[in-house]
Chain A
């Protein structure tokens, strides 16, 4: 049995941040750009059945997020609000892969977890395993992010930071150092070490108070350097859950209206039902195993990205690509597809580098030609991708009918293994022989 104060802080800060994030999303006009404007979408496999919202539907979903967020923040109608937020938010995330962000996934998971947490009223005692579950979810983000950095590109070539840092030569204080390759190495190694260290430092009673300011500094630097949205603030807020209940009470005492000093109201919770324990273990086990699924696949997963999403790979790759899709008619004629007529700029960027989206887009094309034009076609693509400072290489097999492939858990055989094909000029001259 422990005091629920850390959980209440988590709920308040998380609620405030998701409300802010939702308002920010709306004010940037992203409801139109990301949800309503696209002609075609790239839903996650297994969720293709989710209906695409119209304008009214989208506004309803975002109203749900706002109301749910406010309810999380204030604790009023907390569990219902949390559930509403989780459902609306996750619904929107499932609609289109091109908008996927690691921290959106984290927000979904945490809001799901909070639905089961007695985090609404101060002065309660809670089972310590509940708090531990939250803590484990949080440190997994760091742990897997750190683990993912233990690869040759990151450690041996300091990529992608070698490409990114020199562009920030106007950064306060450190800017001049960013032009040196050594700085990228220092940042890479420090970043990997930091991520791997964070779980232990946060759990350690001795190290925590020294480590937390470092963590805040780290996140603020990443926020200043990279366009990663509210991710740093979410992590800064959530990691406060590791501090003792007393620290939380002291903190909230500075804000008289929000203080948690209600010692007379302490109530012990009912005994724990064993099925709940099982559920918690299952949830955590899934969270631990799911990010490791890339181990099932051979080849470089930074390249083929099988098992890449939902694995806390944050700022790990600089990947740019150019995709040229061809509709191949029965007579053998090739017709180039104008991507900008089909996709938003952001979708175009994502489709150009992510194999499963290339396949999905091929299906969109073949569906359109079959349903609207009554033509059976094949879809081929010539895609060039550059990863972490490597020269561009052919990404998917240009001779395969991509619309005949389905996205499954299987190895992505249609992706050309990294480092096997060569410069565009060579490819084209081969093609012409």
Chain B
């Protein structure tokens, strides 16, 4: 019965002939199209995404984590030394200085909240505030307390350290209670260990993974990066650092001074906000810090947009983003520490700066995302 296959052969011939037609049509239409307007140089969007990813991995992400981890190492050393002589006020001050450096270094690292960072919930464990002082107090002296549990999120990380080191009477309390110092050390050890874990994972396995996923779909490196970048900027920078303290999300519209970042130190909240904006700029531009503190130009999202040509959604968008980053930075400089007092006395200024940041969120989250064609899909999508 297998001999009787004439219709099949015929069908096969038909299929191959028609398949040839398909190919011919495609080749012809593409040839016509690409021969059409050779003089138009802007129409080519030849952009090497793997160069972009390599730049982000080698020159920004990994160095950002390295600097962050080296700052947590230094903090750990300082805390260990303080633990040996808790009566020494200078040693406490050294700890506080190092905490500020860690907090500043954290700003750039926090923007890479995907891959290893999200696996270790680095952002949540490092900088969730306001911190729960009750939980911190009750865990002091508790032998069974282990950092890194989900329930610890609001009593570990930088805000907890800010409390332990900077609260009123911190020196006396630490001096009087060895268990408090012990807890401080545990906290810094945890902070340091988390950073080290993420850095190690980036270096050992994630780096190769990251630079190889050159697509732009959900789950690709560019998709993951932009997603984290937008989310951290919108929620953790715009809203948390400034919006919530300014009262934009409160029922009454009243400011919430207790929601400022680093509220116990109370004199570097604006520095952290400004540093976060510099970090946003750095990532957008693909710039990296060199050893002599001058930013080095690298392939970043700005170049990606420029590669789209002299269009509103290409070069034009880049110009607007650059200008908006600039005016956001200038706006932030109009704020003064302590932010917790400034939101009470100058709420309108705060809300003005907030809208500057908001304008930047729109440019990043709406314009840039659609220009780069990053299809954010959570399920099937046929166009609506």
Interface residues of A (CB under 8 A from B): 28, 30, 33-34, 99-103, 163-164, 166-170, 174, 177, 179-183, 185-186, 189-190, 209-214, 217, 226-231, 250, 254, 308-309, 313-322, 324, 329, 331-336, 338, 340, 344-346, 349, 354, 384-386, 389-392, 423-425, 427-428, 431-432
Q: Is the CB of A317 within 8 A of B383?
A: yes
Q: Is the CB of A214 within 8 A of B22?
A: yes
Q: Is the CB of A389 within 8 A of B371?
A: yes
Contact partners of B118 in chain A: CB under 8 A: none
A180 CA to B35 CA in the complex, in Å? 11
Contact partners of A392 in chain B: CB under 8 A: 362-363, 366-367
A190 CA to B31 CA in the complex, in Å? 13
Nearest-neighbor residue (CB-CB) of A230 within chain B? B380
Q: Is the CB of B355 within 8 A of A179?
A: no
Q: Report the tally of A-B residue pairs with Cβ distances under 8 A.
A: 209
- For the complex with contacts A210-B21, A336-B243, 11 further pairs of A-B residues with Cβ separation under 8 Å are A102-B382, A166-B308, A179-B45, A213-B18, A214-B22, A229-B382, A315-B382, A321-B366, A329-B253, A333-B253, A425-B327
Contact of A333 among B7, B22, B252, B317 (CB under 8 A): B252
Q: Is the CB of A424 within 8 A of B358?
A: yes
Nearest-neighbor residue (CB-CB) of B327 within chain A? A425
Q: Is the CB of B30 within 8 A of A428?
A: no
Nearest-neighbor residue (CB-CB) of A165 within chain B? B373
Can you list 9 pairs linking A and B with CB atoms under 8 Å apart?
A101-B382, A102-B383, A163-B313, A167-B374, A180-B33, A213-B15, A230-B380, A315-B382, A384-B366
Contact of A183 among B15, B34, B380 (CB under 8 A): B34
Q: Is the CB of B30 within 8 A of A212?
A: no
Chain B 27-47 per-residue mask, 1 if CB under 8 angstroms from chain A, else 0: 001101110110010011111
Determine whether B352 belongs to the interface, using a CB cutoff of 8 Å to chain A: yes
Determine whether B293 belongs to the interface, using a CB cutoff of 8 Å to chain A: no
Question: Given A214-B22, A324-B358, A336-B249, are A186 and B375 also a contact pair (CB < 8 Å)?
Answer: no
A228 CA to B379 CA in the complex, in Å? 9
Contact of B366 among A329, A333, A385 (CB under 8 A): A385
Pairs of residues from A and B, 9 with the lowest C-beta to C-beta distance, nearest first: A229-B380, A333-B253, A181-B43, A213-B18, A182-B33, A186-B33, A424-B359, A346-B378, A167-B216
Number of residues in B with C-beta < 8 Å to the partner?
77
Q: Is the CB of B379 within 8 A of A432?
A: no
Chain B 309-334 per-residue mask, 1 if CB under 8 angstroms from chain A, else 0: 10111001100100110010000000
Question: Given A384-B366, A389-B312, A428-B356, are A210 and B380 also a contact pair (CB < 8 Å)?
Answer: no
Q: Is the CB of A170 within 8 A of B214?
A: yes
Contact of A227 among B37, B324, B374, B377 (CB under 8 A): B377
CB distance from A356 to the nearest CB of B (A): 12
Q: Is the CB of B251 within 8 A of A329?
A: yes
Contact of B21 among A213, A345, A391 (CB under 8 A): A213
Contact partners of B367 in chain A: CB under 8 A: 386, 391-392
CB distance from A212 to the nearest CB of B (A): 7
Contact partners of A346 in chain B: CB under 8 A: 378-379
Q: Is the CB of A212 within 8 A of B18?
A: yes
Nearest-neighbor residue (CB-CB) of B216 within chain A? A167
CB distance from A9 to the nearest CB of B (A): 15
Nearest-neighbor residue (CB-CB) of B217 within chain A? A227
Contact of A181 among B44, B253, B327, B359 (CB under 8 A): B44
Nearest-neighbor residue (CB-CB) of A427 within chain B? B359
Question: Given A101-B380, A386-B370, A392-B362, are A177 and B30 also a contact pair (CB < 8 Å)?
Answer: yes
Chain B 1-33 per-residue mask, 1 if CB under 8 angstroms from chain A, else 0: 000000110010011011101100110011011
Determine whether B384 belongs to the interface, using a CB cutoff of 8 Å to chain A: yes
Nearest-neighbor residue (CB-CB) of A232 within chain B? B382
Contact partners of B363 in chain A: CB under 8 A: 392, 424
Question: Given A315-B383, A336-B243, are A391 and B312 also a contact pair (CB < 8 Å)?
Answer: yes
A324 CA to B353 CA in the complex, in Å? 17
A231 CA to B380 CA in the complex, in Å? 10
Nearest-neighbor residue (CB-CB) of A308 within chain B? B384
Determine whether B376 belongs to the interface, using a CB cutoff of 8 Å to chain A: yes
Contact of B383 among A168, A313, A334, A432 (CB under 8 A): A313
Nearest-neighbor residue (CB-CB) of B231 within chain A? A340
Chain B, 159-190, CB within 8 A of any chain A CB = none
Determine whether B250 belongs to the interface, using a CB cutoff of 8 Å to chain A: yes
Contact partners of A340 in chain B: CB under 8 A: 235
Contact partners of A431 in chain B: CB under 8 A: 355
CB distance from A208 to the nearest CB of B (A): 10
Determine whether B147 belongs to the interface, using a CB cutoff of 8 Å to chain A: no
Determine whether B151 belongs to the interface, using a CB cutoff of 8 Å to chain A: no
Contact partners of B362 in chain A: CB under 8 A: 322, 384, 392, 424
Contact partners of B378 in chain A: CB under 8 A: 33, 344-346, 349
CB distance from B307 to the nearest CB of A (A): 9
A385 CA to B369 CA in the complex, in Å? 11
Chain B, 337-377, CB within 8 A of any chain A CB = 352, 355-356, 358-359, 361-363, 365-367, 369-377
Residue among B311, B367, B372, B379 with the most chain A CB within 10 A? B379
Determine whether B141 belongs to the interface, using a CB cutoff of 8 Å to chain A: no
Q: Is the CB of A336 within 8 A of B379?
A: no
Q: Is the CB of A338 within 8 A of B249?
A: yes
Determine whether B291 belongs to the interface, using a CB cutoff of 8 Å to chain A: no
CB distance from A256 to the nearest CB of B (A): 9
Q: Is the CB of B359 within 8 A of A425?
A: yes
Q: Is the CB of B380 within 8 A of A389?
A: no
A102 CA to B216 CA in the complex, in Å? 24
A345 CA to B378 CA in the complex, in Å? 7
CB distance from B342 to the nearest CB of A (A): 18
